[in-house]
Amino acid sequence: MKKPLEKEIFWKVLIWRLGLSMPLTIIVNYFYYHSISIVLSLTIVSNIVGYIAHYLFEMYWDEVWKMVKYIQEKINFKNN
């Protein structure tokens, strides 16, 4: 599996956040709070945190996948 470049990961996450996550967050928050200032504050904070978490997840996906495969092997070994 080809490992994506850091630049590619950066843009992938940024496009996801700006194109899908932020508009949905604004709509859902406005439905509950009916205040544009609260909605924008929550949207900005939650998307900054989400952006960082998503970026780190993408960067370390190979290690996460190795750990998942290791756990699967251990579970399958115990079941056999």
Per-residue pLDDT tens for 25-37? Answer: 899 999 999 999 9
Asked whether residue 1 is domain-assigned, the answer is: no
Residue 42, in any domain of the structure: yes
Domain that holds residue 34: 6-79
Q: Is residue 27 included in any domain, yes or no?
A: yes
Question: How many domains does one find in the chain?
Answer: 1
Q: Which of 10-14, 39-43, 64-68 has the lowest mean pLDDT?
A: 10-14
User: Does residue 58 belong to any structural domain of this protein?
Assistant: yes
The answer to whether residue 12 sits within a structural domain is yes
Cα 59-63-66 angle, rounded to 5 deg: 145
Give the separation between CA 25 and CA 21, rounded to whole angstroms.
6
Domain assignment of residue 17, yes or no: yes
Report which of residues 6 and 45 the model is more confident about. Answer: 45
